[in-house]
Structure 1
Amino acid sequence: MNAPSKQPDPADAAARGIRIPPQPQVLVELVQLLADDDYDSREVAGVIAKDPGLSAMVFKIVRSPVFYRGRAAPDTLEQSVIRLGFQQTLNIARAVALSTSIGQETRPAYEKFWQRSRELAQLASLVAAERVSVCNIFPDQAYMAGVFFDCGVPVLMQRFPDYCKTLLLDGRLDFPSLREEDQRFNVDHCSIGYLVARHWHLPEFIAQAILHHDTVPHDELGAVRSLVAIVHLAAHARMNMLKVYDYNWDRIGGEVLAELGLHPDDLPGYLADLRERFEFVPV
């Protein structure tokens, strides 16, 4: 399914019974705090700490080497906020909160989807950290994009219980198969993901990347195109690690590498390096 020719309308989704999940209250409070000029790291950490599950996951992600880059890992949530900065902390908090806001049931399909999203986000953050001088996309932005990229899928699963169910259980979740699911249910998971991103007040370039992520967009330049390429490379790296053939890469791999300034001959070594720095563990 091609990217939509016009901006998605929330009213259209509502008319079809598709519910865009609201932000958790802790995120609303965090955004309100950061909108003021009078706050500090203790207050930001205090808001996040109101949700113990969220604060624990944010802290664990921030302690990943991609975020502290060889320096001593932070020992407290407040130190993590100081290390990351306020906007970057908000980005990570949004990414973590999303998985607890859609499909909280313990159904295997939801668990499989969010595990896949966290792995994709980790790999995207690794690619962004290494390619930041080329693309000017930062690890926290890539992590958030990786989590949100296919978030239209669990939203549609809530509306249509059979949407993507079999595909999720086999662990592939590649883009050609998602296009087939969209055609089957006459929906567009890219558009739904875009509506979630806008409703959660993500940066516009990330929302546009979600909307246009079916391919490497030619009409969207700069940060949008680079971010799409980063997540596609992360997805390819993940499938390579799982020893699953990536049919999508045959279609867009050349454009992805060109956008990220990588030569095709260097790809095997690049994937091996990502594999060495990544572990398939829940975060």
Structure 2
Amino acid sequence: MTTNSSEDLKQRLTEMVDSMPAFPESVCRIIEITSDINCSPKELVKVVERDPVMTMKILKMVNSAFFALARNVSSVQHALVYLGLNTIKNLAVSIATIESLPRQSIPELKMSDFLVHSLATASVAQWLAKNQLNIRDASDHFVGGLLHDFGKAVFIQFEPATYGKLILEAKAMNLPLAQVEMEHLGVSSAEVGALLAEKWQLPEQLVNCIRTQLECNKESSDLVLTVAAANTVVKAMHLGDNGDPYIGGFSDVMSSRLGCNLEDVVAQMQGLPDEVNRLLSMVRG
């Protein structure tokens, strides 16, 4: 990637983000609807059913071994009754996310490993929100964890050789990948991911989470907190790979607000590899 000037870089980033697949309009609408705690389930069903491909994929997932329902579900309405509104939202976002991943990996970061890391981070972020912060509806934390690293997917898609070299440098020196990105590109993958989330018209809190999750502080939202902590947990457990070799630990802010440390959470996550494998089986059909 050329970095002759900030304007050149900004133009190139805009072109890269614009070239990424669009998030389905139906999924953006689903996220918008479910952000209202008083939303109508009937409205959600209508939105999903207007997208026959999304409907088919959701029903396939709902009827997979992952959910192990006692009977076959043949409609979105029935799926909503059995699984709830937020599970349907997570399924829709997961489907759209997987389809937005680059088809080709780079030697330094396989897309299969990237997907494992993303799903694991989503699961841990949701667990932290529910169990440490007592947040009843933690579906946004799942989505935030799933999407937190998607700026890297943009670089892998459009600048594979350059980005591969940055990953190798970070690993050779055990430096945070974001630090190497800033040194060589003048922009972090977190910022690129936020630009992509804006293009996808995702809610402002999700955009902000993607943009700021590497700078978690006492002013950060609960969403940023759980995603940042979950990312650290998953890297410490060596589940999948996001190209960043630097693990670190929980900051004082994380430990204080979550009421636990990294070792505490890792000890609670013995079932996470199996959970991720079940999620993988589901999303891959």
- TM-score, with normalisation over the residues of structure 2? 0.69
CA contact 1:33–1:44 (8 Å) conserved in 2 = no
Aligned to 1:216: 216
Q: 1:175 to 1:29 in 2, by over 3 A?
A: farther
Matches within 5 A, 1:123-272: 123-133=124-134, 136=135, 138-165=137-164, 176-218=176-218, 220-221=219-220, 224=221, 226-242=222-238, 247-250=246-249, 252-262=250-260, 264=261, 267-272=262-267
CA contact 1:191–1:211 (8 Å) conserved in 2 = yes
CA contact 1:125–1:142 (8 Å) conserved in 2 = yes
Aligned to 2:122: 121
Deviation track 1:258-280 (CA, whole Å, cap 9, x = no partner) reads 12132x4xx53432222235524
Offset of residue 164 of structure 1: 3.6
Aligned to 2:268: 273
Offset of residue 212 of structure 1: 1.0
Deviation track 1:19-43 (CA, whole Å, cap 9, x = no partner) reads 2332235436757998997945653
Offset of residue 149 of structure 1: 0.6
Offset of residue 80 of structure 1: 3.4
- TM-score, with normalisation over the residues of structure 1? 0.70
Say which of 4, 27, 51 aligns to 2:54.
Answer: 51
> What is the identity, as a one-letter code, of the residue corresponding to 1:274?
M
Q: 1:256 to 1:56 in 2, by over 3 A?
A: farther
> What is the identity, as a one-letter code, of the residue corresponding to 2:258?
L
Q: 1:82 to 1:104 in 2, by over 3 A?
A: farther
d(CA) in 2 for partners of 1:61, 1:211: 34
Q: 1:187 to 1:47 in 2, by over 3 A?
A: same
> What is the identity, as a one-letter code, of the residue corresponding to 2:97?
L
CA contact 2:17–2:196 (8 Å) conserved in 1 = no
Structure 1 gaps of 5+ residues are 1-8, 66-71
> What is the identity, as a one-letter code, of the residue corresponding to 1:261?
G
Residue 212 of structure 1 aligns to a residue in which SS? helix
Residue 187 of structure 2 aligns to a residue in which SS? coil
Aligned to 1:4: none
Offset of residue 216 of structure 1: 1.0
Q: 1:168 to 1:91 in 2, by over 3 A?
A: farther
d(CA) in 2 for partners of 1:275, 1:38: 35
> What is the identity, as a one-letter code, of the residue corresponding to 2:159?
F
Aligned to 1:68: none
